[in-house]
Chains A and B, each alone.
Chain A
Amino acid sequence: MKKTFDWSNVISNIKSYVTSHWFGLTGLLLLFIFLFITPSFLTTTEVGYLINLWVLIITAFVLIVGKVVQFFRKNKHFVPSESAPLISGLGSVLAIIIGLIVGLIIMYIVNPEQAFQGFLVILKGGFNQGMASFGTMIYYAVPIILTGLSVSFAFRTGLFNIGASGQLIFGAFVAVYIGIKWDFLAGVPFLHWFVAVLGALLAGAAWGAIPGLLKAYRNVNEVVSSIMLNYIAVYWVAIMIKADQSIYFKTQDRLYDILPSAVTPKFGLDQIFVGSQINIGIVVAILIAIILYIILFKTTFGYELKAVGLNRDAAKYAGVNAKRNIVLSMIISGAVAGIAGAMIFLDRGAWFKPEIVLRPEGFTGIAISLLGLNHPFGVVFAGLFYGSLERGGEYLNLLRFKHEIIDIIIAVIIYVSALGLILQKLVIKNLKWNSKIFQKIKRVILKESPSDQSEGGATQ
């Protein structure tokens, strides 16, 4: 090993890195400006908001274009109509568009005068009232992203976890219980909160383990057992709450407020999204998405899980312990759903009531998982999109529309996504039709002269 440092080499490395990644670097710089510089100069005024919005849009554009350029440079022989992720991704986008169009039609039937105005409100979604509504959109998207991640993870192992709702409520109960009772943790900053989340994680995991064990060792269909466990969780939690006078605020039929030390911290995010309820829940959700992504795509454990999900017989043939994997997958899925519960209720004013109602997040998570193509990052985007629609629905109430329009749109999107194959065929057809444009873009990106393009022409 030579220890001498070759500076010219380093500099040329940096140079080539900057030239090849300049799109990404610019994007990151803009993101930094968006997050930390502009908010301090421009407060909630309309102009400031608009400027900040534009910075965000440009950032997103630069990052996406940068990614595309990088991709094409890496995969010179990329054929769009043969790329499965691209096709299914565009299929999802198409489903969204169809869902929105159906929504527009319904709005037009219900209330023709305000239909287009209302539709714009839906499209603007989380951007309706500047950073405040944007932050609130993220706030409400967090539990849905988490349940979506929960469902999608189990789905990768070939399991259909309909029990996210029960795992969520069980986790939420444990989190709130710790938040109220374990005041001895209040001394260290964030420790109380962290332990409460951990408690939710373990509770959700335990609740998810039951259908997993039943499936693995008794071959009980996990759909049936997990859906039944939803009800058990709801009733049991209600019984436990009412039995314990030290946590049950009887006159208001709810639990007591959690201690301030157990409230989910904001870490200054409320300074950026002024006037919103946002907290670091979104950071937790993204972290979990990254962790699940690493588990699924980078580890031997994920390799086994996916093998079991895609072909259980082949996994068995390869000596994979399918039973263990099923249980572990359900435990992880349940843990994530449990955290979703903690994220809902570890906040001021989020009162936990001993209601006999299944939380809708568990079921929305199934839809989000489907829309996000069961990929952790896809789920994050699908969840944010859902949050935006939800916000749009809230603002729709200002016009003469019902919030339920949003539910119809979501339902149509899911319905259309389920017809994925037809959509994908449509996408493939159009990609082919567009392949000349693709070739042109490719040529620009790769800076190739047209004469080098002979092999690219084979795609048509």
Chain B
Amino acid sequence: MDYVVELLHITKTFPGIKANDDVSLQLRKGEIHALLGENGAGKSTLMSILFGLYKPDTGIIKVRGEEVKIKNPNDANRLGIGMVHQHFKLVHNFTVAENIVLGMENTKYGFLSMDTAIKKIVELSDRYKLKIDPNALISDISVGMQQRVEILKMLYRQAEILIFDEPTAVLTPQEIIELMSIMRNLILEGKSIILITHKLNEIKLVADRCSVLRKGKYIGTVNVKDSTPSLLAEMMVGRKVSLELKKKPAIPKEVVFKVSNLSLKNPHSEKFLLKDVSFEVRAGEILCIAGIEGNGQTQLVEAITGLTPIHDGVVVLNNEDITQATIRHRNNAGISHIPEDRHRHGLVLDYTLEENLILQSYFEPKFQNRGFLKFDEIRTNANYLIQNFDIRSGKGPETKTRSMSGGNQQKAIVAREISRGSDLLIAVQPTRGLDVGAIEYIHHQLLNERDRGKAVLLVSLELDEVMMVSDRILVMYEGEIVGEFDPKTTTENELGLYMAGSKKREVQ
């Protein structure tokens, strides 16, 4: 069997952690090889080694059967290895063609000659059915199209081996299907693909073989045809996981939270970030706001929680108008907020765990007396939450949160916000970047809150999550709510059409 890339017995140690421990990965010519693993399993390290960003401690790399030393990304490019990053590396006010040639421009007497480049791009685009307009500006094209530009960039550099890093995170279901067919086309043209992902259904859909890493160790490689998602999940996590979420039917009660006619304009242009948004959340239900990233969800949550001022519209919590209230007032009046960006908003990373656990309540008489902090109470509180929410850290309450894993940081935020006992819990992408175990845990916490009669507003980009957790779904597109759905009767496909803006209906 022909292998285009072989990573054999790679070991890479960072201070205090073995990121890769005797890991091997063999990529056959013309296959899609999935690399599956939780966050921190060592996928990125392995790919960084292949890409020349890290040097392995031991182990060898073979490309097309020959042993090579890859010292930097340029070496990797020369060997025909290209990477499509999760966050695109494109210049927004350049055209597609300019972005593609950037770094290896054709010149004539020192002047840029784009014509030959454009010709080549069009040719490549046709050959792989990428449907790209080389003269469009990046800022004008959709996210899915931008990803195709990234792919084309690699093809233009004659990459034979393409690495896709979590490529579907930013796509709608329709775009995902399109991407899958593009990947198939690439294979037919003789390219080989490594697909980094943690989504099991994608692997089932497109990959030929799948290698699993767990905690830096190589677990095994399976033929995707002969395996099941639950088997893969078990390999990835190391124990049986339920991919289904058992939940009782919701019993919605009175309206806790109501947003009416909320609009927000971009201060620098006249574009609406939010347009006439109205909805209500009842006690004992999980309302989910679905949509593709950047369609106003962030702005909506910031307006509701007071991070940005509201000029147009009314927000009511428990029959109290909080449209103009301060953040502190809202928090005390009954809003808990699990923020989208846990590093930016959720935590003071250089504070210890116990200090972060009182971030929303340090001013309460429980934790202070005439302005002096009660350290005993703070420690008791931290120990209680650590035990009840199973937050793991090196030195318990005294651990700096910066040194904790993403999952445990998120658990700390969830613990803090849930323990405050607010009537409304706003959770924005609470499972972003977490592993299967932690995701399962956080979903259970959200359901528990619902069953205890709290109102939960969940903002999520992951359709699986939306379908699984929510009791009611609103879809946002370009700052507007374009539809309301019942997860029991709708399909991912239908939601996807609304998310992409190709369908729209009035909300009852």
Task: Tell yes or no: A310 within 8 A of B by CB.
Answer: yes
Instruction: Identify which of residues 99-114 in chain A touch chain B, using a CB-to-CB cut-off of 8 Å.
Output: none
Contacts of B331 on A, CB cut-off 8 Å? 318-319
Chain A, Cβ-Cβ closest to B378: A303
When distances are taken between beta carbons in the complex, the residues of chain A under 8 Å from B329 are: 319
Of B307, B327, B400, most buried by chain A (CB within 10 Å of CB) is B327
Query: CB within 8 A of A303: which of B305, B307, B327, B355?
Result: B355
Instruction: Flag whether B348 is at the interface (Cβ < 8 A).
Output: yes
Chain B residues within an 8 Å CB radius of A304? 362
Does residue A301 face the partner (Cβ distance < 8 Å to B)? yes
Q: How far is the CA of A316 from the CA of B363 in the complex (A)?
A: 14
Given contacts A317-B307, A317-B337, A317-B339, contact A311 B348 (CB under 8 A): yes
Question: A73 to nearest B CB, angstroms?
Answer: 17
Interface size class of A (residues with CB under 8 A): 20 to 34
Number of A-B residue pairs having CB atoms within 8 Å of each other in the complex: 66
CB-based contact B345/A314 at 8 Å: yes
From B360, B367, B371, B372, contact of A319 by CB (8 A): B360
Q: Is A315 an interface residue (CB 8 A)?
A: yes
Q: In the assembled complex, which residues on chain A have CB atoms less than 8 Å from the CB atom of B346?
A: 314, 317
A303 (CB) vs chain B CBs: closest residue: B362
CB proximity to B under 8 Å, residues A302-353? 303-304, 306-307, 310-311, 313-321
Pick the contact of B371: A299, A310, A320 (CB < 8 A).
A299
Least distance between A317 CB and chain B CB atoms (Å): 4
In the assembled complex, A298 has its CB within 8 A of some CB on chain B: yes
CB of B374, distance to nearest CB on chain A (Å):
10
Measured in the bound complex, the distance between the Cα atoms of B328 and A318 in whole Å is 7
Give B419 Cβ to nearest chain A Cβ, in Å: 15
Is B344 a contact partner of A307 (Cβ separation < 8 A)? Answer: no
* Interchain CB contact under 8 A, A307 and B371: no
Q: Closest residue of chain B to A425, judged by CB?
A: B15
CA distance A299 to B373 in the complex (A): 5
Contact pick for B351, options A84, A310, A313, CB 8 Å? A310
- Nearest Cβ on chain A to B314's Cβ, whole angstroms: 21
Question: Is residue A45 within 8 Å, beta carbon to beta carbon, of the partner chain?
Answer: no
Closest chain A residue to B364 by CB distance?
Answer: A300
Contact yes or no, A300 B368, CB < 8 A: yes
User: For residues 108 through 153 of chain A, which have their beta carbon under 8 Å from a beta carbon of chain B?
Assistant: none
Residue of A nearest to B306 (CB): A319
Instruction: Report the minimal beta-carbon distance from B13 to chain A, rounded to whole angstroms.
Output: 14
Please indicate the chain A residues that have their CB under 8 angstroms from the CB of B307 in the complex: 316-317
Looking at B330, B348, B360, B372, the one whose CB has the most chain A CB atoms below 10 A away is B348
Interface string of A269-304 (1 = CB under 8 A from B): 000000000000000000000000000001111011
Task: Indicate which residue in A300, A301, A310 contacts B348 across the interface (CB closer than 8 Å).
Answer: A310
Q: Which of B339, B359, B368, B400 contacts A307 (CB 8 A)?
A: B359
Shortest beta-carbon distance, B368 to chain A, in Å? 5
Interface size on B, residues (CB 8 A): 29
Q: How far is the CA of A321 from the CA of B331 in the complex (A)?
A: 13
Would A300 and B362 count as touching, CB distance under 8 A? yes
Please name the residue on chain A nearest to B16 by beta carbon.
Answer: A82
Contact B372–A298 (Cβ < 8 Å): yes
Are the CB atoms of A313 and B359 closer together than 8 Å?
Answer: no
Query: In the complex, which residues of chain B have a beta carbon less than 8 angstroms from the beta carbon of A316?
Result: 307, 327, 345
Q: SS class of chain A's interface: helix, strand, loop or mixed?
A: helix
Query: A298-B372, A299-B371, A300-B368 are known contacts. Are A315 and B348 too (CB-CB below 8 A)?
Result: yes
Residue of B nearest to A302 (CB): B373
The verdict on B349 contacting chain A, using a C-beta distance below 8 Å, is: yes
**Which chain A positions have C-beta within 8 A of B494?**
none
Interface pair B359/A318, CB less than 8 Å apart: yes
Determine whether the beta carbon of B373 is less than 8 Å from that of A314.
no
Specify the chain A residue showing the minimal Cβ separation from B345: A317
- Please give the distance in Å from B299's CB to the nearest CB on chain A: 15
Residues of B within 8 A of A303 (CB): 355, 362, 373
A residues near B326, Cβ cutoff 8 Å: 319, 321
B347 within 8 A of A: yes
Residue among A306, A313, A319 having the largest count of chain B Cβ atoms under 10 Å = A319
Residue B57 lies at the interface, judged by CB distance under 8 Å to chain A: no
Residues of A within 8 A of B367 (CB): 300
Q: Is the CB of A319 within 8 A of B368?
A: no
Instruction: Report if A310-B345 is in contact (Cβ < 8 Å); known contacts: A298-B372, A300-B363, A318-B360.
Output: no
A313-B371 CB under 8 A given contacts A300-B363, A319-B327, A319-B328: no
Whole-angstrom CA separation of A84 from B350 in the bound complex = 11
Contacts of B355 in A (CB 8 A): 303
Interface membership of chain B positions 402-418, coded 1 if the CB is closer than 8 angstroms to chain A and 0 otherwise: 00000000000000000
Give A294's nearest chain B residue, CB to CB. B372
Q: Given contacts A307-B351, A319-B326, A319-B328, are A314 and B372 in contact (CB under 8 A)? A: no
Would you give the shortest CB distance from B441 to chain A, in whole angstroms? 23
Are B345 and A301 in contact (CB-based, < 8 A)?
no
* A residues in contact with B345, CB < 8 Å: 313-314, 316-317
Most buried by B among A298, A306, A307: A307
Residues of B with C-beta under 8 A to A311: 344, 347-350
> Is A310 touching B327 in the complex (CB atoms < 8 A)?
no
C-alpha spacing A303/B328, complex, angstroms: 16
Residue from the set A84, A311, A321 with the largest chain B CB neighbour count within 10 Å: A311
Closest CB in chain B relative to A46 CB, distance in Å: 49
Nearest residue, chain A, Cβ from B358:
A303
Complex Cα distance, B350 from A318, in Å, reads 16
Q: How far is the CB of A329 from chain B (nearest CB, A)?
A: 16
CA distance A84 to B352 in the complex (A): 12
Interface residues of B in 299-341 (CB under 8 A from A): 305, 307, 326-331, 337, 339
Inter-chain contact A307/B328, CB cutoff 8 Å: no
* Cα–Cα, bound, A301→B355 (Å): 13
Q: How far in angstroms is the closest Cβ of chain A from B235?
A: 30
Q: How far does the Cβ of B317 sit from chain A's closest Cβ, in whole Å?
A: 15
Complex contact A310–B373 (CB within 8 A): no
Task: Write out the residue numbers on chain B whose beta carbons fall within 8 Å of the beta carbon of A313.
Answer: 344-345
Residue of A nearest to B398 (CB): A75
B348 contacts A307, CB within 8 Å? Answer: yes
Distance in Å from the Cβ of B425 to the closest Cβ of chain A? Answer: 15
Complex-state Cα separation, A314 to B402, whole angstroms? 14
Report yes or no: A310 in contact with B349, Cβ–Cβ below 8 A.
yes
For the complex, what is the distance from the CA of A313 to the CA of B344, rounded to whole Å? 6
CB distance from A324 to the nearest CB of B (A): 12
State how many angstroms separate the Cβ of B76 from the closest Cβ of chain A: 28
Contact, CB under 8 Å: A300 / B373: yes
A301 to B359, Cβ gap below 8 A? no
CA distance A318 to B416 in the complex (A): 12
Closest to B368 in A: A300
How far is B367's CA from A313's CA once the two chains are assembled, in angstroms?
22
What is the chain A residue whose CB lies nearest that of B328? A319
User: CA separation between A300 and B358, bound complex, in Å?
Assistant: 11
State the CA gap A214–B117 with chains docked (Å). 52
Q: Is the CB of A298 within 8 A of B344?
A: no
Chain A residues, CB < 8 A from B349: 310-311
Q: Which residue of A lies closest to B302 (CB)?
A: A317
Q: How far is the CA of A318 from the CA of B327 in the complex (A)?
A: 7
Q: Which residues of A contact B339 (CB under 8 A)?
A: 317
A231 shortest CB reach to chain B, Å: 35
Contacts of A320 in B (CB 8 A): 328
Q: Is the CB of B372 within 8 A of A299?
A: yes
> What are 7 A-B pairs at a CB distance below 8 A?
A299-B371, A303-B362, A310-B348, A311-B344, A316-B327, A319-B331, A319-B360
Q: Which 8 A-B pairs give the minimum distances between C-beta atoms?
A: A319-B328, A319-B327, A317-B345, A311-B348, A318-B359, A300-B368, A310-B350, A310-B348
Given contacts A300-B368, A317-B305, A317-B307, 9 further A-B contacts (CB under 8 A): A299-B372, A300-B363, A304-B362, A307-B359, A313-B344, A313-B345, A314-B344, A316-B345, A318-B360
User: Which B residues lie at the A interface, using CB under 8 A?
Assistant: 305, 307, 326-331, 337, 339, 344-351, 355, 359-360, 362-363, 367-368, 371-373, 400
